Every structure is written in structure tokens, then in C-alpha cells.
Chain A
Amino acid sequence: MGRSKAFIRKNRAFTVFLVLALGLVAVAIFAPLIAPKDPYAAILADAVQPPSGEHWFGTDKMGRDLFSRVIYGARTSLTASLLLVLVIMTLGTFLGLVAGYLGGFVDGVIMRISDMMLSFPGMVLALAVAGILGANMTNAVIALSLVSWTKYARLSRSLVLKMKSRDYMAAARLTGSKASHILWSYLLPNVLPTALITGATDIGSMMLEIAGLSFLGFGAQAPTAEWGLMLNEGRAYMTAAPWLMVFPGLAVFITVAVFNLLGDSLRDVLDPRS
């Protein structure tokens, strides 16, 4: 208890943003308890109603309760973003570790693929991949995964290259440790904090990219409650019914800001230099 208090006192910013992020996750988990209405229940005759006591955020063009849809949107957006970050972090870190440790031909192949991916603007490549695979949320996550893993691979590779020449690595090799053991027990623990910090900072930007794909019609499809898609649906009503864009936009803004700040403060916590 005493240690927790000390940690909180020492890392106030991190604690605040962690609580806020957990709050957002709680909103996603407990959406059915928080949302007053079914986000997919439509009353066509009640379309585009302004915010009121009955509908706090108004209704969308199909007469669905916008507040409930924004709340449920947290589920879709957060799940997709967290899944995406998990996939690219795992894949990128693993490939970077392997490339850095084995070097030679394997390193050359992995890094050239990485260079190829980096030679295109990420979003454009993601649009192309999502376009080819077909427009849905799963394919949007796959498309973004394919173009976003390179950062983690390059990061972990560079860390491994730095560590490879250390004495403890030489000792591990001398005592006959297998490559898998060295990777798992010596290299990964050293790479993981940096990868985790990068991953935490990436949640916000990945959320924006997923929302961007949905906004452009390559991600979530109607009637899914997803913030990017809701922004796109509200676009046509921008002047006459601005609430259709304002509330999903605010949801994206708040969530991205919280996760970005959480990432920054996590770096402060984990960075040994601080």
C-alpha cells in the first residue's frame, strides 16, 4: 500500500492518464449498462433529431440514439486499436529480434521487406490493401498491420545490435545457450520496455488510422457503431446537424489524447534515464 502511494506520488501524470484510459476501457466493457438505448434500434421517423432529454446526443439519419452509438463505438474503436497495436508490436518485435540476432541473409530479407513497406506512404498503402481485401473492420486491421509493423522491427533490431556485443551475451553463447533461449531470456526483456512504450503511444495514432479508414469507407461498414464511420455519415449534415459529427469527433479526440498522454507518461515511468 505504501509502495503504491509512493508510486502514485512519484508518477502523478501517469496515474491520472492510466485512470482515464481505464475509464475508457470500462466504458467499452460496460457499454450495455451505460448506453440508455440499443445503438442499432432505429426509428426511421425520428431521424436527425437534435440533442434532447430523450436523446442526449440527438439521433442519426436512421433515427438511432447517437449517445448509445458513441458509447458502443468505444468497443469497436478500442478493440480494433488495441488488437492492431498488439499485432504490430508482437510481429514487429519478433522480426526485429530475429533479424538483429541472426543477421546475414535473414536480416537482409526482413529489413528489405521493411524498407519496401516504408517506401510507400503508410495510409495510401493501407487504403490499397484494404481496397483489395474488401471493406470491413478485420481487413482494415490487417491492412494497417501490414504497413505498421516495420517501426517495431527496426527498433528492436537496433536494440539487439547494441546488445549483441555485450559481455553477458558472449557469456550466454559461451555457456551453450540456444538461440531461442537467448532471444527469450536475454534480448526480449531488454527490448520489451521500449516496445511497450512505443505501443502505448501508438494506440492513439492507430485509432486515428482505423477511424480514417472507416471514414473513407474502407473500414467499418454500416450499421456498425464506429466513430470514423459515424463521422462519415454525419459529413453530409455538417451544417444542418453538426451534432452528428461533433460527438463522434469528440470521442475520437478524447480517446486519442488520453492514450497519447498515457504513452508519454509511461515512457517517463519506464525510461531508466529519468
Chain B
Amino acid sequence: MCPMKKLLTMGLAVCMVIFQTACSGSGTGENPGEEAANASVEGNGGKHLNFSCYNYSNSMDPVTNVNSSWCGVRYGVMECLFRFNENVEVETALCDSYETADFKTWILHIREGVRFSNGNMVTPAVVKESLDRLYQAEADKTGNSTPSQYVTFESIAADDQAGTVTLVCTNVTPNLPGILAYPWYAVVDTRVIDTQVVGTGPYYVTRLEENSTIDFAKNPYYWDGEVPYDTYRAYLTTDDQGTAKAMALQSGDVDLVENVVTASDLEAFRKDPAYYVSTTAGVRLGNTYFNYHGVLENEALRQAIQYAVDDETLCQVTVAGLYTAGCSVLPSSLPYGYEKLTDPFTFQVDKAKEVLDAAGIVDGDGDGYRELQGQPIDLNYLAYSSRNLTDFAQAVAISLEAIGIKCTVTVQDYDTALANQSNGNFDLITSNATVVPTGDPTGFLGNFYSGNSQAYGYYANAAYDAAYEELLGVTDRERQQELILLLQQILIDDAATLVHGYYNSTMVSAVDRVTGADIAPMDYYWITTNIAPAQ
């Protein structure tokens, strides 16, 4: 090759490299050190993690909506004043101590020496501004997060000298630390919020390709111990079956995945010693609500449904252990006295038929299905595709068929199903919800309070209402527990809702590459400093 040609070839190669670099995706770096971090993501020998997860949001700003706030905490970018441990007990985090005399005025001491990932200090003034911003966004509708759902404040005052923030709640709020652990209340650096969303978590965002990948780098200022990875990349999927995540882990493309929701994939990982499957009885309830403004107002019919459905088989076989069977609306893993509850409606098909026969709900026209007061029953069962709920609906319909109750399952998208639920256009509707989002079940139990305009299925019971009203005002822990237990038992006795079980969150990791990948019961924790490279 002549020198001229060599020169031309080299020139072209350089041009190509420059062109390729210029054309590579436009990063939306959150921090100044973005370029350096990008280099390490490309592989400069630092400790790197590849993680695959469902893409719930492209934002991590707590004010945007629930999903964005959860993403910030899940990715290890955001932190709150408090946090939950693996026993769902609230612990201090950015606030290192607090005091309250009346559960209304709370003085929180902000941990000293904590910095945001951009190096700025976390001060009481910034904490106050972060909370003010959150509530302001709700008030002027620039954000969809609704922090006033859990607590509102008469005043928020910061004292940088004393290092404290004083919160005066509108009402007595015994669970304020739990509420402040919810991702909405994550502390952001308000000094730079117009351009970046910066938190105090162990990692910060260096590059974000919407709906594709997010690159993270170690927060050099992290306050709570060593950060194990120099960089990590989250591969985002929108495959709600989770098969793509499972396949990525099996092929070695990623080291860690959250919530494999396909029973067969999960079973395969459990059997393979190359993978570690961390499962925890989470705080999500999988259940079916009854509409009391329809045929399911009939108590015998509701009781028969409870008798006819074998939740143990549904949870263990139909959804292959992705749920743990139970009878109460509060998961058996939580400290709300599950073991003291009595379930009178354990699985007995004969008993179900007996109850129906005794109530006169019989097959009068010989078509194989029973009628209620001469009118054919065809239960309108709505379901949406989330965490195996359609499987539950189908299995329940099959179980009801066995006792002569006709049931038509309609699968709808989440928003349509919710709209139908709000309008009362259903007999049964599946649901999957976190019952203790702030470490306290009071809010969730309010769904059965008849005074709640958004009460599910129009359930009403005077004894339940009285106990719930008392729970709202009580600060004594023991009495709270008694009331919560009573409320659970009333719902069981009334056959108020068909409880399937409690969703088991999972995290699967390759054992030769990752250690400490345990899933937390609280659904909004994924990437923590416990997840580290395998030795």
C-alpha cells in the first residue's frame, strides 16, 4: 500500500471514529462527572453490574408521579429521611434522630455531613425546600404525585444552626417516620433541580436513553458505607411477562433481574444452582373485590365463592408460588396478628354447594347454572394484566363453574378496569396493591370504610366503620394492633373480599457474578449497597 493510500485510510478511520462518537446517543447526564462515568460503563476494568428491570418511568423526580418517585429509590439514586428495613420496621436515614411530644409536631435532626451526589451538602433548608417543592407541585398540578394523601403540614421550618427541620402536621400523625420513608418524600437537591434531579443515594445517573438503558456511577460522597460497584447499567424492558429479563440473565447479558413473573422461568432458576433466587413475602395483596351493589350483596353467594376457591392451589400451582396463600387483607408476613385470625371459609366445595342450596340459589331451569330468585347469575369478572391477576380470575371462574355459578372473565387494560370499578360496572374485579406503602395499613383498611367515597365495591359494616374511626385517632400501639386485628376479622367474617394471597417479590442473580442480591419486602427498594460483586 502506497504512503498516500495509507494516509487516506488512516484519515478515513479517524473520521469514522469521530463520526461514530458524535452520533452515539445523546446522554442526559445528571451530574458533572458524566463523561468519566461513561468511559467506565464502556468497560475500563472497574466493578460493573448489568441489571435488567421493567421500565416503569423514564423520570426519577419524586414530584412527577408514583412510578418516577419509586424509580429514583429503586435505582439507588434517591433516599428519604427514613427507610424500612427487611422486617418492614422504619429506621432513620437522612434524619438521624427525631422527637415528638404529641405526634403532631415533629422535630427531625438532619444527619450531619451527608452530601448529594454532586457534592452539595444536605442541610435542613434544602430538606424543607424539597418538601415544599413536592407539595407545591401537587397544589399547582405541575406534578402528579399526591403527598397530601398521607400527610399535610401546617408548617415546615428549617433551622440550619440546630440542624433540624420542624414539621407541624395538620392532624395527629403517629406514623410520620413511615410516611416520610415513602419515595414521594425523597430529598432532592433543590439548588440544581431546574436542570438535574440529584439525590443522596449510592449511585447517580450518568446517561439515560429513554425506554432503553440507564447508566449509573458510584456516588463518591455516599454517606452510608462503601458503594460496591463503580458503575452499573439498567436495561429497561416493557415485557410484562418478564420473559425477556429471564432470558437476558440466562444468556449472561445481565447479572441481576428483578421480579421474574413467569412461574415456569422462576421454577427453572430455582432448580439451577448457577442462580440465586431471593424471594420475600411482600406487602402486596392479590385479591378480588366484590360489588355489593349487585348480586354479590347476597351473603350466601359470597360465602359460597369463598368456600369454592382453593387459594392454596391457585398460589402454589396456577401461579407456581409467585403468591403465598392467605385469608386476610394484610399479609401473613406482617406483624398484624395474622396467626390470631380465624377463617371460617376454608376450601370445601361440598360446603359451598350446601350454602347455595340452603339459600335457595339452585339450578331451577336445568341449564347447569344456578339462579338467584329465579334470575340467572352471570358474574361479570373484570381482570387486568398485572402480576398474574388474569390467571387468578380464570382459575376462580373455573372454580365457580364447579359449583354451578356462571362467571364471565373480561380482561381489560388497567385504566379501563379501574374506570369500570369506579363506576360500579362489575361484580368481581381483581386487584394487586401494596397494603402498607408507608408501613401502616390504616390507609388501605380505609378502602372498606363506608365513609370513604372511593371505598371498593360499596362494602359497609357499622362495626367496621366504628373500629376504623377509632383507629384513625388512636396513638397507643397496643390498641392500634387490637383494632387492626378486629378490622381484619370483620372482613373475613363478612366474606367481604376474596383474598388470593400475597405477592412474593423476587430478585434473581447469577451466583458467580453477584452476591447479596436480596429483595426487600418494600417494593420500592431494588439496588442497594448490599448488592456487590461475587468474590
Instruction: Report whether A240 and B268 are in contact in the complex, using a CB–CB cutoff of 8 Å.
Output: yes
Chain A residues with CB under 8 Å of B397's CB are 223
A37: min CB distance to chain B, Å: 14
Our pick among A44, A217, A236 for the contact of B317 (Cβ within 8 Å) is A44
Instruction: Report whether A241 and B314 are in contact in the complex, using a CB–CB cutoff of 8 Å.
Output: no
- B138 at the A interface (CB under 8 A): no
Task: Type the 1/0 row for B169-198, where 1 means its CB is closer than 8 Å to any CB of A.
Answer: 000000000000000000000000000000
A47 to B394, CA, bound (A): 13
Instruction: Report whether B411 and A44 are in contact in the complex, using a CB–CB cutoff of 8 Å.
Output: no
Our pick among A45, A62, A217 for the contact of B394 (Cβ within 8 Å) is A62
Contacts of A208-258 to chain B: CB distance below 8 A: 217, 221-223, 235-241
Which of A62, A217, A236 counts the most chain B CB atoms within 10 A? A236
Instruction: Report whether A45 and B317 are in contact in the complex, using a CB–CB cutoff of 8 Å.
Output: yes
Contacts of B355-398 to chain A: CB distance below 8 A: 390-391, 394-395, 397-398
Instruction: Report whether B262 and A237 are in contact in the complex, using a CB–CB cutoff of 8 Å.
Output: yes
Q: A237-B262, A237-B264, A238-B243 are in contact. Are A223 and B398 (CB under 8 A)?
A: yes
A69: min CB distance to chain B, Å: 14
Instruction: Report whether A62 and B264 are in contact in the complex, using a CB–CB cutoff of 8 Å.
Output: no
- A48 at the B interface (CB under 8 A): yes
Instruction: Report whether B398 and A44 are in contact in the complex, using a CB–CB cutoff of 8 Å.
Output: yes
Task: Type the 1/0 row for B314-334, where 1 means its CB is closer than 8 Å to any CB of A.
Answer: 100110000000000000000
A45 to B398, CA, bound (A): 12
- A42 at the B interface (CB under 8 A): yes
Footprint of A on B, CB under 8 Å?
241, 243, 247, 262-265, 267-268, 310, 313-314, 317-318, 390-391, 394-395, 397-399, 409-411
A159 to B98, CA, bound (A): 88
A236 to B246, CA, bound (A): 11
Chain A residues with CB under 8 Å of B314's CB are 44
Chain A residues with CB under 8 Å of B267's CB are 240
Instruction: Report whether B310 and A44 are in contact in the complex, using a CB–CB cutoff of 8 Å.
Output: yes
Chain B residues with CB under 8 Å of A238's CB are 243
Instruction: Report whether B241 and A239 are in contact in the complex, using a CB–CB cutoff of 8 Å.
Output: no
Chain B residues with CB under 8 Å of A44's CB are 310, 313-314, 317-318, 395, 398-399
Q: A222-B411, A236-B241, A240-B267 are in contact. Are A42 and B398 (CB under 8 A)?
A: yes
A5 to B250, CA, bound (A): 59
Cβ-closest chain B residue relative to A238: B243
- A61 at the B interface (CB under 8 A): yes
Task: Type the 1/0 row for A48-60, where 1 means its CB is closer than 8 Å to any CB of B.
Answer: 1000000000000
B413: min CB distance to chain A, Å: 10
Which 9 residue pairs are nearest across A and B when measured between Cβ atoms?
A240-B264, A42-B398, A236-B262, A237-B264, A236-B241, A44-B313, A47-B317, A45-B313, A222-B394
9 A-B pairs besides A236-B241, A239-B243, A239-B268 with CB distance below 8 A are A44-B395, A63-B317, A223-B409, A236-B263, A237-B264, A238-B243, A239-B264, A240-B265, A241-B264
Q: Can you list 8 A-B contacts with CB-CB less than 8 angstroms, sorted by A residue number?
A: A44-B318, A62-B394, A63-B317, A135-B411, A221-B411, A223-B398, A236-B241, A236-B264
Instruction: Report whether B318 and A61 are in contact in the complex, using a CB–CB cutoff of 8 Å.
Output: yes
Cβ-closest chain B residue relative to A235: B241
Cβ-closest chain A residue relative to B390: A222
Instruction: Report whether B395 and A239 are in contact in the complex, using a CB–CB cutoff of 8 Å.
Output: no
Instruction: Report whether B264 and A48 are in contact in the complex, using a CB–CB cutoff of 8 Å.
Output: yes
Chain B residues with CB under 8 Å of A223's CB are 394, 397-398, 409
Cβ-closest chain B residue relative to A48: B264
Our pick among A45, A63, A222 for the contact of B409 (Cβ within 8 Å) is A222
Q: A44-B318, A238-B243 are in contact. Are A62 and B262 (CB under 8 A)?
A: no
Our pick among B243, B313, B398 for the contact of A236 (Cβ within 8 Å) is B243
A239 to B265, CA, bound (A): 8
Chain A residues with CB under 8 Å of B243's CB are 235-236, 238-239
Chain A residues with CB under 8 Å of B263's CB are 236
B173: min CB distance to chain A, Å: 43
Our pick among B262, B318, B399, B410 for the contact of A221 (Cβ within 8 Å) is B410
Contacts of A56-95 to chain B: CB distance below 8 A: 61-63
Chain B residues with CB under 8 Å of A47's CB are 317-318
A237 to B318, CA, bound (A): 12
Which of B264, B267, B314 counts the most chain A CB atoms within 10 A? B264
Chain A residues with CB under 8 Å of B310's CB are 44
A217 to B410, CA, bound (A): 11
A190 to B391, CA, bound (A): 53
A42 to B391, CA, bound (A): 13
Q: A44-B317, A235-B241, A241-B264 are in contact. Are A61 and B410 (CB under 8 A)?
A: no
A44 to B247, CA, bound (A): 27
Cβ-closest chain B residue relative to A63: B317
Chain B residues with CB under 8 Å of A61's CB are 318, 391
Which of A47, A135, A235, A241 counts the most chain B CB atoms within 10 A? A47
A240 to B250, CA, bound (A): 13
A241 to B268, CA, bound (A): 11
Chain B residues with CB under 8 Å of A235's CB are 241, 243
B319: min CB distance to chain A, Å: 9
B412: min CB distance to chain A, Å: 9
A246: min CB distance to chain B, Å: 14
